[in-house]
């Protein structure tokens, strides 16, 4: 949460995921919406007055499914009851969502300038405007910090990822996916292992810092830069 502007920022809810999986024969309990509402309730209790969803509120690329329509309407209804302002920054999955945002008076924008120095964009495209800001907040990546031991066991932790730009005067802050079933893609020491062209082209991956939320205490745990951990922990070479 950005305390100075009382703004809660989340990304990648992927509502409708369960029905998409059912179409290919994988039947999952419906948990995305319940968990999403619980998350925004928790953030509201921390004092947030504005909610920004930084892309991919829905899962399907090429349609608006019945489950997506039903759950997005419920989610926005709850969010508007809790927050003074609700904004959706368009992500690459958010096709046809304007049908709902227009009816529910939710702002749908390509990006959002949060303050003089902070710029919010989903991250699936390059943006010259984003690069003019000190801090660029993106989603899209679904980052997770994976630690492997010598026998191959994996501890997988969804994380924030602070990626300095090669200029070292600016940084990208990557948000973890908020979707219950989006457990994350492993962060990598290879720039080619990332989805966002902003990270691939401008990010200093060796100096990227993973930050994990302790699920019990809600404290933030900041790890050393990825380059400093090479050889000490197993970090995936790519996705």
Q: Is 192 exposed, middle or buried (0-12, 13-18, 19+ CB in 10 A)?
A: exposed
In degrees and rounded to multiples of 5, residue 200 shows phi and psi of -60, -40
**Residue extent(s) of CATH 3.60.21.10 domains in the chain:** 1-110
What pTM, to 2 d.p., does this model score?
0.93
CB under 8 Å, gap of 24 or more: what pairs does 23-30 form?
Answer: 28/181
The Cα 16–Cα 30 span in angstroms is: 9
Instruction: Name the CATH superfamily, with its identifier, for domain 1-110.
Output: Metallo-dependent phosphatases (3.60.21.10)
Kindly state the helix (H) or strand (E) to which residue 130 belongs, with its residue range: helix 128-131
Kindly report, residue by residue over 162-179, the tens digit of the pLDDT: 999 998 789 999 999 999
Kindly report, residue by residue over 28-76, the tens digit of the pLDDT: 999 999 999 999 999 999 999 999 999 999 999 989 999 999 999 999 9
In degrees and rounded to multiples of 5, residue 147 shows phi and psi of -115, 125
């Amino acid at each position: 949460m950005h305390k100075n502007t009382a703004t809660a920022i989340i990304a990648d809810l992927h509502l409708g995921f369960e029905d998409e999986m059912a179409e290919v024969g994988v039947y999952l309990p419906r948990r995305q919406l319940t968990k999403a509402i619980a998350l925004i309730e928790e953030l509201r209790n921390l004092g947030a007055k504005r909610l920004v969803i930084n892309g991919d509120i829905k899962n399907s690329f090429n349609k608006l499914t019945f489950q997506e329509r039903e759950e997005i309407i419920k989610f926005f209804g709850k969010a508007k009851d809790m927050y003074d302002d609700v904004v959706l920054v368009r992500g690459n999955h958010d096709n046809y969502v304007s049908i709902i945002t227009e009816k529910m008076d939710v702002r749908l924008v390509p990006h959002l300038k949060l303050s003089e120095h902070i710029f919010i964009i989903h991250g699936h495209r390059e943006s010259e405007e984003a690069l003019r800001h000190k801090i660029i907040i993106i989603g899209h990546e679904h980052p997770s910090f994976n630690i492997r031991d010598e026998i191959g066991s994996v501890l997988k932790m969804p994380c924030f990822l602070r990626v300095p730009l090669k200029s070292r005067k600016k940084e990208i802050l990557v948000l973890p996916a908020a979707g219950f079933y989006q457990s994350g893609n492993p962060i990598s020491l290879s720039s080619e292992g990332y989805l966002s062209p902003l990270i691939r082209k401008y990010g200093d991956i060796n100096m990227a810092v993973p930050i994990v939320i302790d699920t019990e205490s809600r404290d933030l745990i900041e790890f050393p830069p990825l380059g400093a951990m090479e050889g000490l922990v197993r970090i995936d070479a790519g996705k």
